[in-house]
Structure 1
Amino acid sequence: MTNADLISPDAPTLAELLDRYATLRDTLLGLEAERDALAAQIKAALQAGEQAETELYRATLKVQRRVEYPLDRFREVFGDAATLEAASIDKRKAEALARAGDLDPERLQALAVVKEVQALVLQPKTI
């Protein structure tokens, strides 16, 4: 018995599955773009002191921190080879190199710059 024998005759064809998948993907991409644009507008209003809430949610801003290593200073401290290797990956790679002993962890930590970004958070009002 083959896989073709197991598929029911009224099952969607592969082309139909692909068409549905593409439709869902395109819909999600459009919804995500709209969500991001709305979030930017709401964040700007909240940063200006406005308040936003619905029957179910209250919008607040939450500060998130992201560690980055300035490329020019990283290069000065650790050299070209380490900069190329770390910059082609991300901060996790630089931290992995420090854990492995290839970079001085204290110097890496001293080099770190923490950036704060504000994330839009919907808090349920039923809590």
Structure 2
Amino acid sequence: MEGTDDLSLEELLERYATLRDTILGLEAERDELGARVKAALQAGQQAETDLYRATLKVSRRIEYPLERFREVFGDAAALEVAAIDRRRAEALAKAGDLDGEQLRALAVVKETQALVLQSKTR
């Protein structure tokens, strides 16, 4: 990066930490402001600037409550469609409720493809 080529490793780390802390602070402020705007819109208010109009986009995700699904379709069907939450499983292993080595051995990595736009001017 321009202007950082002659910096020492400690100076690079200091700049990195400053940028990270700035970004975290900006993200926290953005989230807080977003929550306030959303609450105002939910209360029926309208908000717009010269460049933007605030609207709420509703998205829906269908879920099936596990206990009710089991009651209706049975244990075998519930097990067939169940998904394991990776973070919760890892938290259980960290807490000692699951064997961490067995959990790691059980893990399967699934790859997905994402579109990435690369600049042609580099």
User: TM-score w.r.t. structure 2 length?
Assistant: 0.52
Instruction: Mark the runs of 5 or more structure 1 residues left unpaired by the alignment.
Output: 1-9, 91-127
Evaluate the alpha carbon distance shift between residue 79 and residue 15 of structure 1 in structure 2; reply closer, same or farther with a 3 A threshold. Answer: farther
Q: Give the count of matched residue pairs.
A: 80
Residue by residue, what CA displacement relative to the aligned partner does 1:64-109 show, whole Å, maximum 9, x if unpaired? 22344534456666759x59x823338xxxxxxxxxxxxxxxxxxx
- 1:23 correspondence with 2:22: no
Higher relative contact order (CA 8 A, sep 6+): 1
Q: How does 1:1-127 map to 2 (within 5 A)?
A: 11-73=6-68, 79=75, 82=79, 86-89=83-86
Identity among equivalent positions (%) equals 67
Q: Work out the CA distance in 2 between the residues paired with 1:70 and 1:87.
A: 15
**Which amino acid is 2:83 matched to?**
A
Distance 1:87 1:73 in 2: 18
Aligned-pair Cα RMSD in Å: 3.0
TM-score (normalizing by structure 1): 0.50
- CA change 1:33–1:42 in 2 (3 A) is same
Equivalent-residue separation in structure 1 for 2:85 and 2:49 (angstroms): 43
Return 5+ residue gaps in structure 2 as ranges: 88-122
